[in-house]
Every structure is written in structure tokens, then in C-alpha cells.
Amino acid sequence: MKALLYNKNNSPYKLQLKEVEKPFPNDDEVLVKVVTASLNAADYRSMKMGMIPKRKIFGSAVSGTIESVGKNIQHLKCGDEVVGDLADFGFGGLAEYCVAPGKAFIRKLANTSFDDAVTLPLAATTALKALRDKGNIRQGQHVLVVGGTGGVGSAAVQLAKYFGATVTAICSTKNIAQTSALGADTVIDYTKNDFTKGNIRYDLVLAINGNYPLLAYRRLLNSKGIYVMVGGTLNQIFKSLLFGWLLSFGGKKMKPLTAKANSEDLEFVAKLMDEGRFKAIIHQRYPLDKAAEAMHYFSKGHAPGKVIINIQER
Ligand SMILES: NC(=O)c1ccc[n+]([C@@H]2O[C@H](COP(=O)([O-])OP(=O)(O)OC[C@H]3O[C@@H](n4cnc5c(N)ncnc54)[C@H](OP(=O)(O)O)[C@@H]3O)[C@@H](O)[C@H]2O)c1
């Protein structure tokens, strides 16, 4: 099969399309013929940190069709259309076929395309975890999403609206129209306005990438407000872990998102999408032989929506 392999000597992107052996599922795994993969920060961050998957194939979110199942698999069968998150199972999605434990996948719902479904793992599921589980979002709250246009941010804006919040989103000039169209009540252009100095206080601040100092975020919270940091560089995560608890004395709470999304979270957002209550925001599509370029572009951190890799012809 064709797969995008990590090769540190291959310039400029360290990734190379190669012919490799098709994987074989063990008793607890399924073999999936990948239709579409989507790129996620987990891919390029792992690569930058030298955390290379055993089979040297990145790709954490996939949709496709089950080709064979291990004998212990009960909930899936050959021919099922599925979507899954491989980040905890050795990656491997940027290839014509992948194997992973059955629990990595859920059935793709009928009204949702493979391309739309693949935008959900790691992006919408992370936004859900951050808002609902860490941020304890409630109807009528005022929520600030800092970085409202990437895969996680665009999902966070939509989900915060779904939960009945008033949403203010932060993005750059070029993404204002898109972020408003997602339902944000107010959109602030961070290149023109320093929103950290404003007078409005929020019940919940979701910081995608943690681009501003913790104290600036804390200032934006009302007396019982919650700040949740999603992702970011190791340095940002470290600071948030180290100082977040110190800044959480009193009513305000400052937390990094540490919990990982699971298949129930994926089912939740997949159902919303299938019912037409949550939109896939696809920014660009690339074929597998251009996936290295796609990864390079995506890793710059300004893609307004998901970058997806179309692997099989449909
Ligand atoms: N389990 C987890 O914790 C988990 C899972 C998945 C992802 N993540 C993390 O979530 C983060 C976001 O990932 P993503 O896929 O959504 O993509 P992304 O491409 O990193 O999204 C970046 C967002 O940040 C905005 N941004 C960039 N610079 C900014 C600034 N100075 N001020 C305000 N906003 C700024 C961008 O908007 P503009 O383009 O308009 O500048 C864009 O909306 C990553 O750090 C990733 O590691 C965590």
C-alpha cells in the first residue's frame, strides 16, 4: 500500500510517499481502508518532538471502511463505514490502510460524508471536552474563545452556541467573516484590538494555543470564571500546569485540558453533525501524494478550519 513515511533525511518536509506492506490486524484490531484523513496538531507536534510512530506513519484522524476485523471485535464488521482517532494507538492514518484497536472507531452516521466525519476526532472532541467537562459550560454564560478559526476553535464556537452560551471569538482579520458565520455573537480581531485590556469579563475563557500570558487571561474572568487552556507548546503547557493552580485561589479557576477525548465524545459530536446541528469546516483538501506539503502548511497554525487528505477515490 502507499503510505506517507517519516524520513528525517528527506528534505524539506521529512515525509515521503512510499510503498509499504499492508498492515494486518491482531485479534483486538480492525483493518480500515482509509478514505480520508485529517491533519491535527498531534501529528506535527509529535514529529517536532521526535516522537515517531513505530510504523513511521503519522495521521491521527481517519474515516474509511472496515476491511477485516480481529476475532475479539464485537461492535464492528467488514464493510462498516467508520471514523476514528488513532492518536493513542500509534497513528498510521496517512496511508491507504491502517490498523488500530476496535475501540478507536465508531460507525460513521448515514447523513455524514467521510470528509465531514474526519474533521471530528481530536478537534471537535477536544473542544467538547474543554467546554463541557473542564469548563462546565452552562446556558446563558458568556464564553470567550481565543483562536476561533482552527479545527478546535471553530468547533468550540459552534459547540458553545449549541450549549446556549453567548460567544465572543478572537481571530485575525482574514477569518472574521468565517467566525461570525459559525455563530459567534462578537468577533474581535486580535491584530487590531488588544482584547486582554477590555472591560468585559467572561464566565469561561477557552484559550486555543495559550497565546497570551496567564495573568492576562485571568483578568478576563469574572469572579467565578473558568479558564481552560487547550494545547499549546510544551513551554506554555508547563507554565499553565505550574502556575495555573497558584492563580486558582479564590473563585477563579485556571486549568489546562489534560483529559483526552474518548469514543463517547466522538459519538456526541458525530450525532450533532449528522442532525445538521454542527458543521464541518474544511479549509483545504490534498491528495496523499501532496500530504507532506499539507502538513507543512498546517503546522504553521493558521489554517481556518481542517486540512484533509483524500486517500481513496470515491
Ligand atoms: N487533547 C488535547 O488537549 C488537544 C487535542 C487536539 C488539539 N489540541 C491543541 O489545540 C490547539 C489548536 O489546534 P487546531 O487544530 O485548532 O489548530 P491551530 O491551527 O493551531 O489553530 C490556531 C488558532 O489560533 C489562532 N491564533 C494564532 N495566533 C493567535 C494569536 N496571537 N492570538 C489569538 N489567536 C491566535 C488562529 O487564528 P488566526 O489564523 O486567525 O490567527 C487559529 O484560530 C493545538 O495547540 C493543539 O495542540 C489539544
Q: At what angle do helices 291-298 and 41-48 cross, to 10 degrees?
A: 90
* pLDDT for the residue numbered 314: 66
Q: Does the Cβ of 257 fall within 6 Å of ligand 1?
A: yes
Q: Does the Cβ of 213 fall within 6 Å of ligand 1?
A: no
The residue nearest atom 6 of ligand 1, judged by CA position, is 122
Contacts of 287 (CB under 8 A, 6+ apart): 309, 310, 311
Q: Which of 111, 113, 106, 117 is nearest to 80 (CA)?
A: 106
Per residue in 252-274, pLDDT (tens digit) is 898 888 778 899 999 999 999 99
Q: Does the Cβ of 302 fall within 6 Å of ligand 1?
A: yes
Residue 29 to residue 270: CA distance in whole angstroms:
22
Q: Does the Cβ of 46 fall within 6 Å of ligand 1?
A: no
Q: Does the Cβ of 121 fall within 6 Å of ligand 1?
A: no
Query: Would you put residue 16 in left (φ > 0), alpha (ψ -120 to 50) or beta?
Result: beta
Per residue in 301-312, pLDDT (tens digit) is 889 999 999 999
* pLDDT for the residue numbered 242: 81
Percent of the chain with pLDDT over 70: 99
Q: Which cell is 220 given?
A: 478576563
* pLDDT for the residue numbered 140: 98
Is 56 a residue whose pLDDT tops 80? yes
Provide the b/e sequence for 202-235 (b: ≥16 CB within 10 Å): bbbbbbbbbbbebeebbebbbeebbbbbbbbeee
Per residue in 86-105, pLDDT (tens digit) is 999 999 999 999 999 999 99
- Residue 112 — very low, low, confident or very high, per pLDDT cuts 50/70/90? very high
Give CA separation, 199 vs 11, 90, 176, 195, 213, in Å: 48, 45, 21, 9, 17
Residue 234 to residue 45: CA distance in whole angstroms:
10
Q: Does the Cβ of 156 fall within 6 Å of ligand 1?
A: no
Distance 83 CA to ligand 1 centre (A): 22
Q: Does the Cβ of 225 fall within 6 Å of ligand 1?
A: no
Tell which one of 158, 209, 241 to mutate to probe ligand 1, the residue whose CB is within 8 A of the most ligand atoms. 209
* pLDDT for the residue numbered 262: 93
Residue 38 to residue 15: CA distance in whole angstroms:
16
* pLDDT for the residue numbered 277: 96
Q: Does the Cβ of 172 fall within 6 Å of ligand 1?
A: yes
* pLDDT for the residue numbered 258: 78
What single-letter DSSP state applies at residue 41?
H
* pLDDT for the residue numbered 247: 78
Q: Does the Cβ of 196 fall within 6 Å of ligand 1?
A: no
Is 116 a residue whose pLDDT tops 80? yes
Q: Which cell is 43 given?
A: 501529528
Q: Does the Cβ of 230 fall within 6 Å of ligand 1?
A: yes
Per residue in 72-85, pLDDT (tens digit) is 999 999 999 999 99
* pLDDT for the residue numbered 235: 77
* pLDDT for the residue numbered 202: 98
Mean pLDDT of 185-206: 96
Distance 57 CA to ligand 1 centre (A): 23
CATH tag for 123-256 (out of 3.30.70.2660, 3.50.50.60, 3.40.50.720, 3.30.70.870): 3.40.50.720
Provide the residue type at 76 as one letter. Answer: L
Q: Does the Cβ of 299 fall within 6 Å of ligand 1?
A: no
Per domain, the residue ranges of the chain are 2-119+280-310, 123-256
Residue 299 to residue 303: CA distance in whole angstroms:
9
Is 232 a residue whose pLDDT tops 80? no
Residue 134 to residue 290: CA distance in whole angstroms:
37
Q: Which of 40, 46, 62, 57 is nearest to 1 (CA)?
A: 57
Contacts of 218 (CB under 8 A, 6+ apart): 227, 247, 252, 254
The residue nearest atom 39 of ligand 1, judged by CA position, is 302
Percent of the chain with pLDDT over 90: 85
Distance 208 CA to ligand 1 centre (A): 5
Distance 147 CA to ligand 1 centre (A): 6
| CA pseudo-torsion sign 89, 92, 94, 96 | negative
Residues 142, 202: contact at Cβ < 8 Å? yes
Cα 243 off chain centre by: 25
Q: Does the Cβ of 61 fall within 6 Å of ligand 1?
A: no
* pLDDT for the residue numbered 209: 76
Domain 2-119+280-310 has CATH 3.90.180.10: yes
- Residue 244 — very low, low, confident or very high, per pLDDT cuts 50/70/90? confident
Residues 103, 263: contact at Cβ < 8 Å? yes
Mean pLDDT of 12-19: 94
Give CA separation, 273 vs 39, 66, 158, in Å: 19, 21, 11
Identify the helix (H) or strand (E) that includes residue 294: helix 291-298
Burial of 255 (0-12, 13-18, 19+ CB in 10 A): middle
Higher pLDDT, 271 or 243: 271
Tell which one of 86, 152, 295 to mutate to probe ligand 1, the residue whose CB is within 8 A of the most ligand atoms. 152
* pLDDT for the residue numbered 295: 97
* pLDDT for the residue numbered 167: 98
